Structures are given as structure tokens and as C-alpha cells.
Chain A
Amino acid sequence: DGGITQSPKYLFRKEGQNVTLSCEQNLNHDAMYWYRQDPGQGLRLIYYSQIVNDFQKGDIAEGYSVSREKKESFPLTVTSAQKNPTAFYLCASSMVMSGTGINEQFFGPGTRLTVL
């Protein structure tokens, strides 16, 4: 089945540790995105990438890093510089439609990160 997978579903880390969240898609989508969702709030864009080996900062990129070495994969690293990392992290992907920009985004099931 085509889709987006995120792992793990729940992740615990100690304060001061870096942690990497996985996101894989087999939809052959060009663009991939990382969002952060806090309780009772909307989604905030962390990073996005429209092509392999290229990515852009979103609205809240500080304390996060990404890589896009393969079209299917867009891992997110939450570094120790992120002061309040406990949140629900969502990965998404979309086609890039030539001349019209992006199409709708498809989301993974999310990873809930808790810092102890």
C-alpha cells in the first residue's frame, strides 16, 4: 500500500540528547514537510523540501535539522538546542505540480516525542 510511515510512534528522550524522527513515503512525491503540533494548537511548519538535497526553513526551524538524501526519506533531528521539544510531530508529502505549485498534502500517523 502507498503511504507515509513515521517511526517510532512514541519516543522518549532525556533532556540534552539529540533524537531523530523517521519519515518515509512510497508515493513518489517530490515534496516533504515536517510540522509540530502542540496540545490545542494548529500545525506549525518546521522544515520542508521540494527536491532531493535541498530544503528550506519553515516558521519554527530553530533547534531542528533535516536531510533529504533520498526522495523517499526526510528524517528530522530534534537537537538539544530545541528548548521545548515535547510535542506531536507530523510528516507530510505532496506532488509538486508544474506551473501550479503543490497539490494537497498527505500526512503520516505522527510521532509523539516526550522529553523527560
Chain B
Amino acid sequence: GNSVTQMEGPVTLSEEAFLTINCTYTATGYPSLFWYVQYPGEGLQLLLKATKADDKGSNKGFEATYRKETTSFHLEKGSVQVSDSAVYFCALIETDKLIFGTGTRLQVFP
């Protein structure tokens, strides 16, 4: 079946550092891909999405490119802030539901 694999965390960075969180997927066809963010004690918020190969999703300085050759959808940000500290989930659509990765915790220190 379809699946999503994320790098294990926590990822610990200093403010203004470059961020990459790896996400790879296994799927039949080319499903839509998503990044969600969860701040402490809250639900998930959609951060960005890409619906077809080579699409780039972007929001709040975060970017991810749908790469079918490497079946990847890595999340990047050029300069992280303390307020970016959260858990990030990569996900894909499978027919009628989302398949989530296990999440990657990001900790940003001043």
C-alpha cells in the first residue's frame, strides 16, 4: 500500500539556519502531497501542498517540490525562526483518505 516516510527528529537548529525535513513516499500513480504543521497542544494546519509532479508548494517561507523521479517532497526554509518550532507531517492522498508520515519535531533556539 501507499506510505510516507519522514526523517526522524528532533531537528534542532539555531535561529536563521537553513531547514530541510526529508519526506519520501511510495504510491501508485501521482497522488497529491501535503505538509501539515502542528504547534504544541493544537490540531494540524495545512502548510503547503502540490498536486502534480514538478509542482512547488510554498507558504510562510516554506517550500517543497514534488519530485516523481526521487519520489520525494522535502520541506525547506531558508531562515527558520523560534516560532517555527513545531511538529511537521508529510502526507499523501490515497483514494478517500490521507496517509501521514510519523512527523518530525523541529526545535529552533535563539
Contacts and interface: CB of A to CB of B under 8 A. Distances in A.
A58 B97 contact: yes
A90 B102 contact: no
The A interface is mostly helix, strand or loop, or mixed, namely strand
B93 A102 contact: yes
B100 A110 contact: no
Given A42-B101, A42-B102, A43-B89, A107 B96 contact: no
Interface size class of B (residues with CB under 8 A): 20 to 34
A63 interface: no
B42 A42 contact: no
A96 B95 CA distance: 11
A67 to B, nearest CB: 19
A51 to B, nearest CB: 11
Given A42-B102, A43-B89, A104-B34, A48 B96 contact: yes
